[in-house]
Amino acid sequence: MGIERRSTGFTLVELIVTLLVVAVLAAAALPRLLSTQTFDNRGFLDEAVAALRYAQKAAIASRRNVCVTFSINSLTLNVASAAGSTAACDTALKSPMGDASFQIPRSGRRPSNAVFQSVNPTFHFDALGRPRTSSDNPIARQTIQIVGVAQTIKIESETGYVYAN
């Protein structure tokens, strides 16, 4: 009467195949995990969209012009202290957190290569939330590109709706 012994565990071939599969997956995934540049650029895009939406909502809520000023790598928001379609934006718009002025990026948070491209350097949202030139003329749909990000920011001309596409 022979007793059958059943061995438990893995064979050497199974272990080698498993390690090979893990190595291939790691080689494909590791570069994506180590590079945060794409993630940082997308964060900059999201922050710019949020700032533009905030500017539009602030213009409607305060019934004042809110000016948006772009430089190559920043965006600043100012509000008019007086009502009227041609009122100048002479006061810094406070951020939702109560900071004295609203500007993105906040101190050193901008990715090194994220810059605005093909953008109207200055425009404002009027009291109805529509984008306008400094002489209060309507602006056609605006498209704002950030270098290093596939999506663009669009601002609709009649409604002022801001979205990433």
Where are the chain's structural domains? 37-164
Q: What is the pTM of this model?
A: 0.75
> Can you tell me which residue has the tokens 């704002």?
144
Reference 161, options 133, 136, 142; nearest CA is: 142
Q: Please state, in angstroms and rounded to a whole number, the distance separating the CA atoms of residues 16 and 10.
A: 10
pLDDT given for residue 133 in this prediction: 86
Q: Please state, in angstroms and rounded to a whole number, the distance separating the CA atoms of residues 125 and 156.
A: 11
What string of pLDDT tens digits covers the 165 residues of the chain? 567 777 778 899 999 999 999 999 888 887 777 777 777 888 888 999 999 999 999 999 999 999 999 888 888 899 999 888 788 888 999 888 877 778 887 655 556 677 887 677 789 999 999 999 878 888 888 888 888 788 999 999 999 999 998
pLDDT given for residue 128 in this prediction: 93
Reference 132, options 120, 144, 143; nearest CA is: 120
Q: Please state, in angstroms and rounded to a whole number, the distance separating the CA atoms of residues 55 and 31.
A: 37
Half-sphere exposure of 129 (CA within 13 A, CB side): 14
Q: Are 22 and 14 in contact (CB under 8 A)?
A: no
Query: Does CATH number 3.30.420.40 belong to domain 37-164?
Result: no
